Chain A
Amino acid sequence: MNKFFYPRLALVNLKKNGNTYIPYILTCIGSIIAFYTMVSIHSNKGLDQMPGSANLKIILFLGIIVIGIFAVIFLFYTNSFLIKRRKKELGLYSILGLEKKHIARVLFYETVFVTVISLSLGLIGGILIGKLLFLLLLNIVHFKSPLIFHIDYWGLLITTGVFLVIFGLTLLTNFLQVKLSNPIDLLKGGQHGEKEPKSSWIVTVIGLISLGAGYGIALSVKTPLEALMLFFVAVVFVIIGTYALFISGSITLLKQLKKNKRFYYQSRNFISVSGMIYRMKQNAVGLANICILSTMVLVTLSTTVSLYVGQEGMRRDFYPMDVSIIGEINNTDFAEVKAIVESEKEKLKIRSSDEISYDLARFRAFQEGSHFLKDMVEDESTDARYYERISNMILIPLDDYNRMTGEQKSLAENEMLIFSVGDNYGEATIVFGDQQYLITEQLEAIPMDFKKTQDMGQTYYLVVKDDAVMEGVYQTMKNDDDPQTTLHALMFNLDGDEDTLNTFSANLRTAITQSNPDIDIQNLYEALTELYFFFGGFLFLGVFLGSLFMMATVLIIYFKQISEGYEDSERFEIMEKVGMDKTEVKKTIGKQILMVFFLPLAGAIVHVAFAFPVITKMLAAFRLTNITLIFLCTLAGVLVYALVYTGVYLLTARSYYKMIH
């Protein structure tokens, strides 16, 4: 025997099984590209020098782990599918006289070829696409200065190592398959007598309860904190419910339909129902996988896109004014601060607007109706609601208020005006310590802030008679780590292009910190950089993983159709002989594929619909409260996904029809 016999046979096998092996190799290449890209971006030296890259690196590291796990699961899944399809062929080899060790050798060479092709193309692709994706990432996070993207040898090494192990393991499982079976079993391969699937009411009921529980949690979540805490519980319930209902619920339902004789013995239902029972038996797990993967893609895409698109709105929530400079009254020379601001503005020819300055005191208090307490009640701290009752209180003297607004209001010693950022303050009085104050007016607006949804505790602005009253309340209510005295604030907005404003912000911080390190500067433009990194990183990962999951979904569907095509062609041949029309055959096939195909998508869309309330609440934790925007992003995500999904359907349906005829 020629020593090239086995490699040649392996090569011929791969070619002959091209319609399943080419997609498999493409999957491998895709996974390798994804993995290498993540590793190389994560370990890029330039990234370390960017401000705010720490969060991004954590997000990317998460990505590496997810892709790694995903690659293992998915490559094992596709490999087991391939080897199942080839059992007959392997059985034939052993009948023709190849021993098990010879078959093992053929399988070994096949794996070697697949590995070499996948790794070489995957790594080359990774180097090219990785660079492209890196530029995309920099663009998404609004990072301007060009970074050089080197080929990451360490990353190449890690990727090669990880995938060699994965391929080695798949080869090992294939060896086991061959070793454990005899030729006759191999020959019969997929065609053990098809047993009527058993449906279990218990599993169905468990599935319904579990899904109901998951949906119930999703719908009953009231606050962002609850959402963050309960989201994963709901996810687990929904996953259990999805599997149980796909596996058992579908068959229970179909069997009920079958029991209804008048419905079942109609030509259009007869073949569909019994066909679906067997299809669901074979595919329930695969379909449930697709459903869950699709839901993941949709949730990931819609949240990350919402966050990214919504950050413009969010940043105003965080920073009502572009720049705010706050210092302790008796420790800050505000004339000097103002001089620094003016000189920095002059240097870069920047104009400012809406400038305001005022005295204030700020502290946190625990709200119980109209009573605001200094001490938090510790034993309730397990309740998420507890945190929502911690309020931010900001006191402002009346003459500063009147000066800023141009109004002429007056207040007595025990009177206050209130502006609530969130819901209106419903009480007529407000109590600090043992002192009660009358609320004489609920203000509709205040110069330094505006109305917005408050999900994580209220913020109240209180206008008091004078500095003395303010000082009095502050000294009663302040905690140990609060500043000793009341504060003074200087706030203004900026005009100019973003680059100049970024420079100005950095310069201003340096200058002011030099003169007085205790001054607190909040600057929208500095914060933006960090936000872009944070949400941009999320978006990048979301789209990246979304595409990866989409690839997985597409492949699972493709393999499913191929394997069913072979079995169904026999079935429909018989039906044609017994007197079924060709057009009728085509209609029935179409109906069945359509159901199998779109059931997971429909499931995923329902999941997303129920997840929507939780998603909005969770995003509210990131201060994204624009529900219309989230809805539109989700809708766009669903539409794009459904479009891709339908495209895949049309493609595979075509090859399926070809197989039948």
Chain B
Amino acid sequence: MRLLEVKNLKKIYTTRFGGNQVQALSNVSFSVEQGEYVAIMGESGSGKTTLLNILASLDKPTSGEVFLDGKNIVTIKDSEISAFRRDNLGFVFQDFNLLDTFSIQDNIFLPLVLAQKNYQEMNSRLGPLAKRLNIEEILKKFPYEVSGGQKQRAAVARALITQPKLVLADEPTGALDSKAAMNLLKIFSAINELGQTILMVTHSVAAASHANRVLFIKDGEIYNQIYRGSMSNDDMYQKISYTLSVLASGGEDCE
């Protein structure tokens, strides 16, 4: 079943006083199946973040369409967009984006509170999730009291607690040390195995090598993609590295 379908996405930024136009996305089309784990790779300025912002409904494309579960998110009204985001999407950011005024537990509850769920339900959802992410001990603590890895796991819990159709991760390992990063990637793989669809934007080859499929984006277009098939993570790593070097040297094709 097709969960996400992106068709001919185009985004042009115009500087405030007219004049300069920058094309961030020229023509992007791809789709994500239910239960897939997709990584999007590309250099800085390739349009990754623009793409993610559009998928997150934080930004509107200049033209093109994005269907999530058959619903076109480009045409959703502004007044409904927050509720849509809350109900269907979960976010994991590079810099965690936890609120320092809330305890870890309250940070995780935030989207549910906004959706006006009652406390019993929130609590019953949190229990198993906290166990799975190994953050039970730090629930009462505040973000400044815990490590980066713990913060990111809390952020993952916040993304998952709404049981979203799609988890969007923006450089989730970017601010973590290698051990914490590996730990987080294992968690991503585990939740993916339970059926959670994940779309991750990343720089890191190690991170991308955990995905089922890797999309490469260059100059605002999908340049290439790699399917895992039966490859191990290490094989995947090799292949991604090779693709990236070809991409960087401006090669024609790598297959």
Q: Which residues of A contact B (CB under 8 A)?
A: 193-196, 261-262, 265-267, 270, 274-275, 277-278, 571, 574-584
B91 touches A577 (CB 8 A): yes
CB under 8 Å from chain A, chain B span 85-142: 85-87, 89, 91, 93, 97-103, 106, 109-111, 113-116, 118-119, 122, 142
A193–B146 alpha-carbon span in the complex (Å): 11
A193–B101 alpha-carbon span in the complex (Å): 10
Contact for A579 among B98, B114, B143, B144, CB less than 8 A: B114
Contact for A266 among B101, B102, B113, B144, CB less than 8 A: B113
Taking CB as reference atom, which chain B residue is nearest A263?
Answer: B119
A137–B111 alpha-carbon span in the complex (Å): 62
Contact for A193 among B83, B89, B100, B106, CB less than 8 A: B100
B99 touches A574 (CB 8 A): yes
B147 contacts A by Cβ under 8 Å:
no
B165 contacts A by Cβ under 8 Å:
no
CB under 8 Å from chain A, chain B span 124-177: 142-145, 158
Contact for A267 among B93, B97, B114, CB less than 8 A: B114
A580 touches B100 (CB 8 A): no
Taking CB as reference atom, which chain A residue is nearest B89?
Answer: A579
A275 touches B82 (CB 8 A): no
Taking CB as reference atom, which chain B residue is nearest A281?
Answer: B101
Taking CB as reference atom, which chain A residue is nearest B85?
Answer: A579
A581–B100 alpha-carbon span in the complex (Å): 20
B142 touches A196 (CB 8 A): yes
Distance in Å: Cβ of A45 to nearest Cβ of chain B: 61
A516–B103 alpha-carbon span in the complex (Å): 88
A265 touches B86 (CB 8 A): no
Chain B interface size band reads 35 or more
CB under 8 Å from chain A, chain B span 54-105: 56, 58, 78-79, 82-83, 85-87, 89, 91, 93, 97-103
Distance in Å: Cβ of B103 to nearest Cβ of chain A: 8
Contact for B99 among A277, A571, A582, CB less than 8 A: A571
A579 touches B101 (CB 8 A): no
Using Cβ atoms and an 8 Å threshold, which residues of chain B touch A277? 101
B144 touches A265 (CB 8 A): no
B99 touches A579 (CB 8 A): no
A584–B100 alpha-carbon span in the complex (Å): 20
A574-B99, A577-B97, A579-B83 known; 5 other A-B pairs, CB under 8 Å?
A: A193-B145, A265-B119, A277-B101, A571-B99, A584-B114
A584–B78 alpha-carbon span in the complex (Å): 13
B100 touches A578 (CB 8 A): no
Using Cβ atoms and an 8 Å threshold, which residues of chain B touch A278? 101
Distance in Å: Cβ of B80 to nearest Cβ of chain A: 9
A578 touches B91 (CB 8 A): yes
B119 touches A578 (CB 8 A): no
5 CB contacts below 8 A, A to B, read A193-B144, A265-B113, A267-B115, A574-B97, A577-B56
Taking CB as reference atom, which chain B residue is nearest A192?
Answer: B144
A275 touches B101 (CB 8 A): yes
Distance in Å: Cβ of B240 to nearest Cβ of chain A: 28
Using Cβ atoms and an 8 Å threshold, which residues of chain A touch B97? 574, 577-578
Q: Which residues of B contact A (CB under 8 A)?
A: 56, 58, 78-79, 82-83, 85-87, 89, 91, 93, 97-103, 106, 109-111, 113-116, 118-119, 122, 142-145, 158
Distance in Å: Cβ of A9 to nearest Cβ of chain B: 29
A261 touches B119 (CB 8 A): yes
- CB-CB under 8 A for A265 and B83, given A275-B101, A571-B99: no
A194–B103 alpha-carbon span in the complex (Å): 11
Using Cβ atoms and an 8 Å threshold, which residues of chain B touch A265? 109, 113, 118-119, 122
- The 5 residue pairs across chains A and B that have the minimum distance between CB atoms: A193-B144, A579-B86, A581-B82, A574-B97, A270-B113
Taking CB as reference atom, which chain B residue is nearest A193?
Answer: B144
Using Cβ atoms and an 8 Å threshold, which residues of chain B touch A262? 119
B116 touches A266 (CB 8 A): yes
Distance in Å: Cβ of B22 to nearest Cβ of chain A: 23
Using Cβ atoms and an 8 Å threshold, which residues of chain B touch A581? 79, 82-83
A267–B103 alpha-carbon span in the complex (Å): 16
Using Cβ atoms and an 8 Å threshold, which residues of chain B touch A266? 113, 116
Using Cβ atoms and an 8 Å threshold, which residues of chain A touch B119? 261-262, 265
Using Cβ atoms and an 8 Å threshold, which residues of chain A touch B109? 265, 270
B144 touches A571 (CB 8 A): no
A579 touches B111 (CB 8 A): yes
Distance in Å: Cβ of A174 to nearest Cβ of chain B: 28
A582 touches B82 (CB 8 A): yes
- CB-CB under 8 A for A194 and B101, given A577-B58, A579-B82, A579-B85: yes
Taking CB as reference atom, which chain B residue is nearest A196?
Answer: B142
Distance in Å: Cβ of A280 to nearest Cβ of chain B: 11
Distance in Å: Cβ of B102 to nearest Cβ of chain A: 6
Using Cβ atoms and an 8 Å threshold, which residues of chain B touch A583? 79
Which has the most chain A C-beta neighbours within 10 Å: B78, B89, B100, B101?
Answer: B101
Using Cβ atoms and an 8 Å threshold, which residues of chain A touch B99? 571, 574-575
Taking CB as reference atom, which chain A residue is nearest B84?
Answer: A579
A194–B144 alpha-carbon span in the complex (Å): 7
Using Cβ atoms and an 8 Å threshold, which residues of chain B touch A574? 97-99
A262–B113 alpha-carbon span in the complex (Å): 11
A574–B175 alpha-carbon span in the complex (Å): 17
Distance in Å: Cβ of A180 to nearest Cβ of chain B: 23
Using Cβ atoms and an 8 Å threshold, which residues of chain A touch B122? 265
Distance in Å: Cβ of A515 to nearest Cβ of chain B: 84
B116 touches A267 (CB 8 A): yes
A267–B86 alpha-carbon span in the complex (Å): 13
A267–B115 alpha-carbon span in the complex (Å): 8
A267–B82 alpha-carbon span in the complex (Å): 14
Distance in Å: Cβ of A613 to nearest Cβ of chain B: 41
A267 touches B113 (CB 8 A): yes
Which has the most chain B C-beta neighbours within 10 Å: A195, A278, A574, A575?
Answer: A574
Distance in Å: Cβ of A591 to nearest Cβ of chain B: 15
Taking CB as reference atom, which chain B residue is nearest A576?
Answer: B82
- CB-CB under 8 A for A575 and B110, given A193-B144, A194-B100: yes
Taking CB as reference atom, which chain A residue is nearest B164?
Answer: A579
Using Cβ atoms and an 8 Å threshold, which residues of chain A touch B110? 270, 575, 578
Taking CB as reference atom, which chain B residue is nearest A191?
Answer: B100
Using Cβ atoms and an 8 Å threshold, which residues of chain A touch B85? 579
Distance in Å: Cβ of B186 to nearest Cβ of chain A: 25
Distance in Å: Cβ of A182 to nearest Cβ of chain B: 21
Distance in Å: Cβ of A548 to nearest Cβ of chain B: 36
Using Cβ atoms and an 8 Å threshold, which residues of chain A touch B115? 267, 579
A274–B143 alpha-carbon span in the complex (Å): 14
A5–B201 alpha-carbon span in the complex (Å): 46
A30–B116 alpha-carbon span in the complex (Å): 50
Using Cβ atoms and an 8 Å threshold, which residues of chain A touch B82? 576, 579-582, 584
